[in-house]
Structure 1
Amino acid sequence: MPPRPLDRTSSILIVGGGAWGCSTALHLGRRGYENVKVLDPYAIPSPIAAGSDVNKIMEHKELKDGISDAKGIAFATCTRAALKGWKTDPVFAPYFHETGFIIAGHTPDLGDYVALNSPDDFRATMPPGVLTGDFPGWKGWISKSMISAYTEAKRLGVTFIESEMGDVIGARTADGVVHHADHMILAAGAGSDSLLDFKKQLRPTAWTLSHIRMTPEEAQQYRNLPVLFNIAKGFFMEPDEHNHELKICDEHPGYCNFIMDPNHNGATTSVPFARNQIPLEAEARARDFLRDIMPHLADRPFVSARICWDADTPDRAFLIDRHPEYGSLLVAVGGSGNGAMQMPSIGGFIADGLEGRLVKELKDVVRWRSETAVGRDWHSTQGRRGGPNKVIDFQDVKDNEWTQIHGAQGGDI
Structure 2
Amino acid sequence: MLTAKSSILIIGAGTWGCSTALHLARRGYENVQVLDPFEVPSPIAAGNDVNKIMEHKEVKDSHKDARSIAFATFTRAALKGWKTDPVFSPYFHETGVIVSGSTPEIIQHILEGEIDSAKGDFVTLKTAEDFRRTMPPGVLTGKFPGWKGWFSPKDAGWIHARKAMISAYTEAKRLGVKFTTGTPHGKVVALAYHNGDVTGAQTADGTIHHADHVILAAGAGSDQLLDFKKQLRPTAWTLCHISMTAEEAQGYRNLPVLFNVAKGFFMEPDEDKHELKICDEHPGYCNFIETPKILGEKRSVPFAKEQIPLEAEARARSFLQDTMPHLADRPLSFARICWDADTVDRAFLIDRHPEFPSLLVAVGGSGNGAMQMPSIGGFIADALEGNLQEELKKVVLWRPEIAIARDWKSTQGRFGGPDRVMDFQDVKDNEWTCIRTEGSKL
What TM-score comes out, normalization by structure 2 length? 0.90
Q: Alignment partner of 2:293: what SS?
A: helix
Q: Residues 205-220 of structure 1 correspond to what in structure 2 (within 5 A)?
A: 205-220=235-250
Instruction: Report Cα offsets for 1:233-257 as digits up to 9, x if no partner.
Output: 1000111111111110000000001
Structure 2 distance, partners of 1:332, 1:105, is 33
Task: Kindly indicate whether the alpha-carbon contact (under 8 Å) linking 1:276 and 1:408 is maintained by their aligned counterparts in 2.
Answer: no
Structure 2 distance, partners of 1:350, 1:23, is 9
Aligned counterpart in structure 1 of residue 65 of structure 2, from 57, 66, 69: 69
Structure 2 distance, partners of 1:151, 1:175, is 25
- Determine if the alignment matches structure 1 residue 140 to structure 2 residue 132: no
- Determine if the alignment matches structure 1 residue 162 to structure 2 residue 181: yes
Distance 1:370 1:90, change over 3 A: same
Instruction: Report Cα offsets for 1:207-263 as digits up to 9, x if no partner.
Output: 000011111111110000001111111000111111111110000000001111112
Q: What residue in structure 1 maps to residue 132 of structure 2?
A: 123
Structure 2 distance, partners of 1:410, 1:378, is 35
Aligned counterpart in structure 2 of residue 150 of structure 1, from 140, 161, 169: 169
Q: By percentage of residues, which structure has more strand? A: 2
Task: Kindly indicate whether the alpha-carbon contact (under 8 Å) linking 1:304 and 1:408 is maintained by their aligned counterparts in 2.
Answer: no
Moved over 3 A (4+): 408-411
Deviation at 1:410, TM superposition (A): 8.7
Distance 1:377 1:410, change over 3 A: farther
Structure 1 distance, partners of 2:367, 2:359, is 24
Structure 2 distance, partners of 1:16, 1:86, is 22
Distance 1:167 1:410, change over 3 A: farther
Q: What residue in structure 1 maps to residue 395 of structure 2?
A: 365
* Number of equivalent positions: 407
Q: What residue in structure 1 maps to residue 49 of structure 2?
A: 53
Q: What residue in structure 2 maps to residue 330 of structure 1?
A: 360
Q: What residue in structure 2 maps to residue 86 of structure 1?
A: 82
Deviation at 1:67, TM superposition (A): 3.3
Q: What residue in structure 2 maps to residue 187 of structure 1?
A: 217
Q: Which amino acid aligns with 2:285?
A: Y
Q: Alignment partner of 1:212: what SS?
A: strand
Q: Alignment partner of 1:170: what SS?
A: strand
Q: What residue in structure 2 maps to residue 387 of structure 1?
A: 417
Structure 2 distance, partners of 1:315, 1:268, is 21
Instruction: Report Cα offsets for 1:179-209 as digits up to 9, x if no partner.
Output: 1111000000000011110000000000000
Q: Residues 36-51 of structure 1 correspond to what in structure 2 (within 5 A)?
A: 36-51=32-47
Q: Which amino acid aligns with 1:150?
A: Y
Aligned CA-pair RMSD: 1.3
Q: What residue in structure 2 maps to residue 268 of structure 1?
A: 298
Instruction: Report Cα offsets for 1:297-328 as digits up to 9, x if no partner.
Output: 00111111000000000000000000111110
- Determine if the alignment matches structure 1 residue 278 to structure 2 residue 308: yes
Structure 2 distance, partners of 1:104, 1:236, is 12
Give the percent of matched residue pairs that are identical in Structure 1 and Structure 2: 75
Structure 1 distance, partners of 2:222, 2:173, is 24
Q: What residue in structure 2 maps to residue 99 of structure 1?
A: 95
Distance 1:323 1:265, change over 3 A: farther
- Determine if the alignment matches structure 1 residue 19 to structure 2 residue 15: yes
Task: Kindly indicate whether the alpha-carbon contact (under 8 Å) linking 1:276 and 1:410 is maintained by their aligned counterparts in 2.
Answer: no
Deviation at 1:133, TM superposition (A): 1.1
Deviation at 1:265, TM superposition (A): 3.7
Task: Kindly indicate whether the alpha-carbon contact (under 8 Å) linking 1:114 and 1:141 is maintained by their aligned counterparts in 2.
Answer: yes
Deviation at 1:142, TM superposition (A): 1.2
Q: Alignment partner of 1:272: what SS?
A: coil
Q: Alignment partner of 1:267: what SS?
A: strand
Structure 1 distance, partners of 2:82, 2:273, is 22
Structure 2 distance, partners of 1:245, 1:198, is 38
Q: Residues 390-401 of structure 1 correspond to what in structure 2 (within 5 A)?
A: 390-401=420-431
Instruction: Report Cα offsets for 1:14-68 as digits up to 9, x if no partner.
Output: 0000000000000000000000000001111111100011111112111112333
Structure 2 distance, partners of 1:340, 1:364, is 22
Instruction: Report Cα offsets for 1:353-411 as digits up to 9, x if no partner.
Output: 00011000100000000001010000000000011100001111001000000037999
Structure 2 distance, partners of 1:408, 1:329, is 41
Q: What residue in structure 1 maps to residue 119 of structure 2?
A: none
Q: Alignment partner of 2:398: what SS?
A: coil
Q: What residue in structure 2 maps to residue 378 of structure 1?
A: 408
Structure 2 distance, partners of 1:258, 1:98, is 38
Task: Kindly indicate whether the alpha-carbon contact (under 8 Å) linking 1:277 and 1:410 is maintained by their aligned counterparts in 2.
Answer: no
Aligned counterpart in structure 1 of residue 27 of structure 2, from 18, 28, 31: 31
Answer with 99-108 or 155-164: which moved more: 99-108
Structure 1 distance, partners of 2:351, 2:317, is 41
Q: Which runs of 5+ in 2 are unaligned?
A: 116-121, 153-162, 188-195
Structure 2 distance, partners of 1:225, 1:206, is 26
Deviation at 1:138, TM superposition (A): 1.4
Q: Which runs of 5+ in 1 are unaligned?
A: none
Q: Which amino acid aligns with 1:162?
A: T
Q: Alignment partner of 2:237: what SS?
A: strand
